[in-house]
């Protein structure tokens, strides 16, 4: 049995003080008083563990640049250092064989049961997306929705219902058949990389679309006579809006704030959509940031085309590579800097909402019977510790 205490526990969407009693990875009780030894986080804030439902790579690992079990294992190990307790490794739009390979890698790492962030399943981003809105995805591999092929992806998985989330362009031919199948199988469906009209998004809700992937990005925009996917996501009270990391580059802070005011914390999901730049095997240009990432031996050289500045990062040094892109915890801090949020609202967008969206009954809340996944923060939203299934996986000693 393990016991931790705080004056600030986010419990059922409200802050309480108490002792969290943990046994076999579960919360078995929350007490006002306790006689015995415990871990004291008196002044810190204990939130349900961060869930990242959209991440291609992080830290020293990447499924985007380096498809290997070792690379995914590094993601499992490094994500808790940013407060993430569970995540969906996310595929990219490549050849069918590339997607098979990614699924095989995820299978192997799931079977290894590595210590670190829990792999919840798979987010299948593509290949059933609109090439006109491919964004950073490979346009040449975008294909029409194909239920037979999707079932082959399912059959490749080592666990049932391993594909938990799919991003699809609902305006494409045959999309309805695939979306309705996913609804029957309890697989969540998000509209993304889509040129759908307002009317098409609203219609696709009837089939099983419940949200949008990286809101504003790679989707039809809002015009006062043609509301597009953005307009539908803002207008419809039921649709969730997933946002990628809040750098202010891909989505202006004001644009996020507009969505937040309309949707409220109840329908916003925070993710990162990180790529894992440390594992690049060839030069890669990030157009929005105006930066070249160039691998050289055990270094990544970052060249800014706008300023001419050059920085070097050791790919084996985590403190180095975490600077290559904004992390989950840094994004949360940046989000709150520009959009006023309570602790309860932070807990919703980082944990409760993705848990609900992905049908994760044992996650998203600190309550009796739930998984003992905790992200423990200082009052300034710096990470103090990360617990996964009741085990202290990371602690910040600084």
Q: What distance in Å separates the CA atoms of residue 21 and residue 16, rounded to the nearest whole number?
A: 15
Are residues 38 and 74 located together in one domain of the fold?
no
Quote the domain boundaries for residue 307.
284-314
Position 195 scores a pLDDT of 98
Are residues 173 and 82 located together in one domain of the fold?
yes
Is residue 125 part of an annotated ligand binding site?
Answer: yes
**Domain for residue 298, yes or no?**
yes
**CATH number of the domain where residue 377 is located:** 2.30.40.10
Displacement of CA 263 from its chain's centroid (Å): 19
Provide the token pair at 21. 């009693």
**Domain for residue 40, yes or no?**
yes
Are residues 20 and 62 located together in one domain of the fold?
no
**CATH number of the domain where residue 74 is located:** 3.20.20.140
Position 68 scores a pLDDT of 97
Are residues 60 and 152 located together in one domain of the fold?
yes
Residue with tokens 């031996």: 297
How do beta strands 45-48 and 374-377 pair?
A: antiparallel
CA atoms within 13 A on the CB side of 108: 13
**Domain for residue 76, yes or no?**
yes
Are residues 142 and 251 located together in one domain of the fold?
yes
Are residues 245 and 146 located together in one domain of the fold?
yes
Q: How many CB atoms lie within 10 A of CB 238?
A: 9
Residue in 78, 273, 330, 371 annotated catalytic: 273
**Domain for residue 248, yes or no?**
yes
Position 136 scores a pLDDT of 85
**Domain for residue 356, yes or no?**
no
Q: What's the average model confidence in pLDDT over 95-99?
A: 97
The answer to whether residue 273 is catalytic is: yes
236-264 pLDDT tens trace? 999 999 999 999 998 999 999 999 999 99
Is residue 286 part of an annotated ligand binding site?
Answer: no
Q: Over 70: is that where the pLDDT of 35 sits? A: yes
59-71 pLDDT tens trace? 999 999 999 999 9
Position 397 scores a pLDDT of 80
Q: For residue 143, give the nearest of 98, 188, 101 by alpha carbon.
A: 98
Q: What distance in Å separates the CA atoms of residue 338 and residue 255, rounded to the nearest whole number?
A: 11
Is residue 11 part of an annotated ligand binding site?
Answer: no
Contact 153, 143 (CB under 8 A): no
Q: How many CB atoms lie within 10 A of CB 336?
A: 17
**Domain for residue 389, yes or no?**
yes
Are residues 136 and 105 located together in one domain of the fold?
yes
Contact 167, 146 (CB under 8 A): no
pLDDT range class, residue 166, cuts 50, 70, 90: very high
Q: What's the average model confidence in pLDDT over 317-332?
A: 96
Position 43 scores a pLDDT of 96
Are residues 199 and 301 located together in one domain of the fold?
no
Task: State the total domains in the chain.
Answer: 3
Of 395 and 284, the structure prediction assigns the larger pLDDT to 395
Are residues 123 and 6 located together in one domain of the fold?
no
Q: What's the average model confidence in pLDDT over 4-20?
A: 94
Q: Over 90: is that where the pLDDT of 288 sits? A: no
**Domain for residue 345, yes or no?**
no
Are residues 41 and 60 located together in one domain of the fold?
no
Q: What's the average model confidence in pLDDT over 190-215?
A: 98
Are residues 103 and 229 located together in one domain of the fold?
yes
Q: Over 70: is that where the pLDDT of 198 sits? A: yes
**pTM (predicted TM-score):** 0.97
Q: What distance in Å separates the CA atoms of residue 114 and residue 131, rounded to the nearest whole number?
A: 36
Residue 187 backbone zone (phi > 0: left; psi -120 to 50: alpha; other: beta):
beta
**Domain for residue 200, yes or no?**
yes
Q: Over 90: is that where the pLDDT of 347 sits? A: yes
Q: Over 90: is that where the pLDDT of 286 sits? A: no
Q: Mind spelling out the 3-state secondary structure of the chain?
A: CEEEEEEEEEECCEEEEEEEEEECCEEEEEECCCCCCCEECCCCEEEECEEEEEECEECCEECCCCCCHHHHHHHHHHHHHHCEEEEEEECCCCCHHHHHHHHHHHHHHHHHCCCCCEECCEEEECCCCCHHHCCCCCHHHCCCCCHHHHHHHHHHCCCCCCEEEEEECCCCCCHHHHHHHHHHCCCEEEECCECCCHHHHHHHHHHCEEEECCCCCCECCCECCECHHHHHHHHCCCCEEEECCCCCCCCCHHHHHHHHHHHCHHHEEECCCCECHHHCCCCEEECCCCEEEEEECCEEEEEECCCCCEEEEECCCHHHHCCCCCCHHHHHHHHHHHCCCCHHHHHHHHHHHHHHHCCCCCCCCCCCCCECCEEEECCCCCEEEEEECCEEEEECCC
- DSSP-assigned beta bridge partners for residue 69: none
Are residues 79 and 191 located together in one domain of the fold?
yes
Q: What's the average model confidence in pLDDT over 166-174?
A: 98
Q: Over 90: is that where the pLDDT of 274 sits? A: yes
pLDDT range class, residue 12, cuts 50, 70, 90: confident
Position 398 scores a pLDDT of 62
Average pLDDT of the chain to the nearest whole number: 96
Per cent of the chain over pLDDT 70 is: 99
């Amino acid at each position: 049995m393990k016991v931790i205490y705080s004056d600030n526990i986010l419990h059922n969407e409200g802050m309480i003080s108490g002792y969290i009693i943990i046994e076999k990875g579960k919360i078995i009780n929350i007490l006002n008083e306790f006689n015995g030894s415990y871990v004291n986080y008196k002044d810190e804030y204990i939130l349900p563990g961060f869930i990242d439902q959209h991440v291609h790579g992080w830290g020293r690992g990447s499924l985007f640049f380096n498809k290997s079990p070792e690379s995914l294992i590094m993601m499992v190990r490094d994500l808790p250092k940013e407060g993430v307790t569970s995540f969906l490794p996310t595929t990219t739009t490549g050849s069918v064989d590339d997607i098979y390979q990614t699924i095989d890698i995820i299978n192997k790492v799931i079977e290894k049961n590595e210590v670190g962030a829990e792999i919840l399943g798979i987010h299948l981003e593509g290949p059933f997306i609109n090439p006109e809105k491919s964004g950073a995805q490979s346009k040449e591999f975008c294909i029409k929705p194909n239920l037979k092929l999707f079932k082959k992806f399912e059959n490749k998985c080592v666990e049932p219902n391993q594909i938990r989330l799919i991003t699809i362009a609902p305006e494409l031919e045959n999309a309805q058949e695939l979306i309705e199948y996913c609804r029957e199988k309890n697989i969540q469906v998000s509209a993304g990389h889509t040129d759908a009209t307002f009317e098409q998004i609203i219609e696709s809700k009837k089939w099983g679309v419940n949200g949008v992937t990286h809101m504003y990005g790679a989707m039809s925009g809002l015009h006062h006579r043609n509301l597009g996917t953005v307009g539908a996501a803002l207008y419809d009270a039921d649709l969730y809006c997933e946002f990628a990391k809040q750098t202010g580059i891909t989505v202006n802070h004001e644009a996020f704030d507009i969505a937040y005011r309309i949707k409220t914390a109840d329908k916003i999901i925070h993710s990162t959509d990180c790529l894992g730049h440390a594992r690049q095997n060839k030069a890669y240009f990030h157009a929005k940031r105006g930066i070249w990432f160039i691998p050289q031996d055990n270094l990544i050289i970052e060249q800014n085309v706008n300023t001419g500045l050059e920085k070097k990062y050791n790919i084996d040094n985590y403190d180095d590579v975490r600077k290559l892109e904004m992390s989950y915890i840094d994004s949360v801090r940046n989000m709150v800097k520009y959009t006023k949020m309570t602790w309860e609202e932070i807990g919703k967008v980082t944990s409760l909402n993705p848990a609900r969206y992905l049908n994760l009954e044992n996650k998203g809340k600190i309550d009796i019977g739930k998984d003992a996944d905790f992200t423990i923060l200082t009052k300034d939203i710096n990470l103090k510790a990360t617990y996964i299934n009741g085990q202290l996986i990371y602690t910040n000693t600084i």
